[in-house]
Amino acid sequence: MSGVVVVGAGIAGVRAAESLRTSGYLGDITLIGDEAPIYRPSISKEALTEGSQGTYPMPMKQGGPAFNWRLGSTVHQLDLSAQALTYQDSAGDFTQLEFDGLVVASGMRPRRLPVAGPEKGRYVLRTLAQAQDLAHQLQPGTRLTIVGSGFIGCEVAAAARARGCAVTVISAASVPLASAVGVTIGQIVTQRHITEGVHFALERSVREYRGDSAIREVVLDDGQVIGSDLVLEAVGSQPNVEWLEGQGLDTADGVLADGQLRAVGTSAAVLMCGDLARHPNALFGSQARRVEHWTAAADTGAYAGRAMVRLLESGAIDLPDFAVVPSFWSDQYDLQIQSFGFPHLATEQQVIELNADGSCIIECSDSQGLVAAIGINRTPELARYRKSFSSRYESTGLLSEDAQPH
Ligand SMILES: Cc1cc2nc3c(=O)[nH]c(=O)nc-3n(C[C@H](O)[C@H](O)[C@H](O)COP(=O)(O)OP(=O)(O)OC[C@H]3O[C@@H](n4cnc5c(N)ncnc54)[C@H](O)[C@@H]3O)c2cc1C
């Protein structure tokens, strides 16, 4: 069978497949994924607060019979010169598949800490199965230690407090979340966690986990000992690129793609999308960056599908370069952090509004002007900033179709 093969059935892969169809592709579309499509943002939120029964399916624009689904299947090997790959299904059988075009959407997996100690009680969080397992353990009084104070660590801290757990967050940072959202918002959110009863050990790292058959204590670099029944390691992620190695692609950090999301280093029709893709965004210059946010994955997926149709039809992608305003959100308690743009590019932050309840709007700029607007509980006001970024690029109007569902 040829046609287009999409590897990874997360939001990027699914949106790519949908956009292939809506852009008029009539050939076979095969979606291979080792996991069923889920609404991943719920994994660190509702999937923990609502218990272990929910399934949180991904909202589909088009699904079912439009594609050949190969779920529960893992791609192990790629041969770009032969335009073929090999996957293993859930029964353990191997199948080789040829393709005219390949969309790579295999995403990331959690990084694990190289720390000695028992494995039992030690968690990471990305899949529904991991969330269901953790949710089952989050009982009133359970002592949960979270290593890492990024979005996932902080969201799980809020969810675990809602379940009545005793929560300690260990972080190398001095202000949780500050590297992603800036110090002002980092401090507002941290203060709220403290008010809700979360303990922090900041500018600290983990030396070892102790316990006989399961974790009982976490020992920090300064010798502090934290009694723990569970540990969640929320210390970032690493790209799922092993199956792409040896094919001439640049896998130094995800996979490098050009401004039209075409993989660099091959003449085959290979398009990149989602967390794994390192690519320029024309609104923010020529530097290639990876973005690990839901709307970015959806937007790059939708673009990759459209671009693939052009490439297979005419041998060229006659589309404007990818230029969509990046955005993300994070929900902790009743605080909704929302961002449009790239806050980490800012050299300056200006507080436009800051209220006693923590709601705020902050403008982030570089030497050329606004690079991001970020705030808490001010989503409609922040959304108006999107036009400011679009005007950085002459081909405007390319705004996310997958705006967050709030
Ligand atoms: C817990 C959590 C909470 C989040 N919350 C938010 C949020 O509130 N707001 C926000 O903006 N973003 C959030 N994000 C980020 C957002 O969910 C991701 O950016 C997005 O899901 C990335 O989509 P993707 O399709 O690129 O990758 P993924 O969703 O990871 O999908 C890739 C799929 O490919 C599969 N795969 C990998 N290798 C292979 C292979 N060899 N063969 C077959 N299949 C393979 C993977 O198992 C996976 O199912 C969150 C992420 C996590 C982990």
> What pLDDT digit, counting tens, does each position of 65-115 carry?
789 999 999 999 999 999 999 999 999 999 999 999 999 999 999 999 999
> What are the structure tokens assigned to 392, written together?
């950085």
Ligand 1 centroid to residue 107 C-alpha, Å: 5
List CB contacts of 223: < 8 A, sequence separation 6 or more: none
Residue range 381-385: average pLDDT? 93
Average pLDDT of the chain is 94
From first CA to last CA, the distance across the chain in angstroms is 41
Q: Which CATH architecture has domain 4-109+237-314?
A: 3-Layer(bba) Sandwich (3.50)
Ligand 1 centroid to residue 227 C-alpha, Å: 32
Is the pTM above the cut of 0.85? yes
Q: Is the pLDDT of residue 391 over 90?
A: no
Residue having the nearest C-alpha atom to atom 39 of ligand 1 = 106
Cβ–ligand 1 contact at 297 (below 6 Å): yes
Q: How confident is the model at residue 393 (pLDDT cuts 50, 70, 90)?
A: low
Q: In terms of CATH, what superfamily is 112-233? A: FAD/NAD(P)-binding domain (3.50.50.60)
Ligand 1 centroid to residue 58 C-alpha, Å: 11
Residue having the nearest C-alpha atom to atom 4 of ligand 1 = 41
Res 52: pLDDT: 76
Residue having the nearest C-alpha atom to atom 6 of ligand 1 = 41
Any idea how long the chain is? 406
Query: Whole-angstrom Cα distance, residue 66 to residue 24?
Result: 12
Write the pLDDT tens digit of every residue in 298-322.
Answer: 999 999 999 999 999 999 999 999 9
Cβ–ligand 1 contact at 110 (below 6 Å): no
Ligand 1 centroid to residue 17 C-alpha, Å: 16
Ligand 1 centroid to residue 40 C-alpha, Å: 6
Q: What kind and span of H or E run contains 337? A: strand 335-341
- Residue identified by tokens 């509702």 is 46
Residue having the nearest C-alpha atom to atom 15 of ligand 1 = 293
Residue having the nearest C-alpha atom to atom 53 of ligand 1 = 126
Candidate from 275, 279, 330, 331 with most ligand 1 atoms within 8 A of CB, to mutate: 275
Query: Whole-angstrom Cα distance, residue 310 to residue 36?
Result: 28
- The residue among 113, 125, 88, 108 whose CA lies nearest residue 241 is 108
- The residue among 203, 186, 188, 198 whose CA lies nearest residue 232 is 198
| Closest ligand 1 atom to Cα of 327 | 11
Q: What kind and span of H or E run contains 304? A: helix 294-314
Write the pLDDT tens digit of every residue in 200-216.
Answer: 999 999 999 999 999 99
Cβ–ligand 1 contact at 332 (below 6 Å): no
Share of the chain above pLDDT 90, in %: 89
Q: What kind and span of H or E run contains 388? A: helix 386-390
Q: How many CA atoms lie within 13 A of 97 on its CB side?
A: 29
Weakest mean pLDDT among 22-31, 189-198, 350-359, 384-393? 384-393
Phi, psi of 145 (to 5 degrees): -110, 125
For the chain, state the CA radius of gyration. 22
Cβ–ligand 1 contact at 153 (below 6 Å): no
Burial tier of 94 (Cβ tally within 10 Å: 0-12, 13-18, 19+): exposed
Residue having the nearest C-alpha atom to atom 16 of ligand 1 = 294
How far from chain centre, in Å, is Cα 248?
A: 25
Cβ–ligand 1 contact at 243 (below 6 Å): yes
Ligand 1 centroid to residue 333 C-alpha, Å: 23
- The residue among 210, 206, 233 whose CA lies nearest residue 222 is 206
Q: How many CA atoms lie within 13 A of 110 on its CB side?
A: 20
Ligand 1 centroid to residue 128 C-alpha, Å: 11
Q: How many CA atoms lie within 13 A of 150 on its CB side?
A: 14
Cβ–ligand 1 contact at 10 (below 6 Å): yes
Query: Whole-angstrom Cα distance, residue 284 to residue 305?
Result: 22
Q: How confident is the model at residue 369 (pLDDT cuts 50, 70, 90)?
A: confident
CATH number of 327-390: 3.30.390.30
Amino acid at 171: S
Q: Do domains 4-109+237-314 and 112-233 have the same CATH topology?
A: yes
153 and 147 Cβ atoms separated by less than 8 Å = yes
Query: Whole-angstrom Cα distance, residue 327 to residue 339?
Result: 5
CB atoms within 10 A of CB 105: 31
Candidate from 40, 78, 151, 189 with most ligand 1 atoms within 8 A of CB, to mutate: 40
Res 379: pLDDT: 95
Q: How confident is the model at residue 403 (pLDDT cuts 50, 70, 90)?
A: very low
Residue having the nearest C-alpha atom to atom 38 of ligand 1 = 106
Delimit the domains of the chain by residue range. 4-109+237-314, 112-233, 327-390
- The residue among 256, 335, 257, 329 whose CA lies nearest residue 294 is 329
Write the pLDDT tens digit of every residue in 16-38.
Answer: 999 999 999 999 999 999 999 99
- The residue among 275, 279, 261, 302 whose CA lies nearest residue 16 is 302
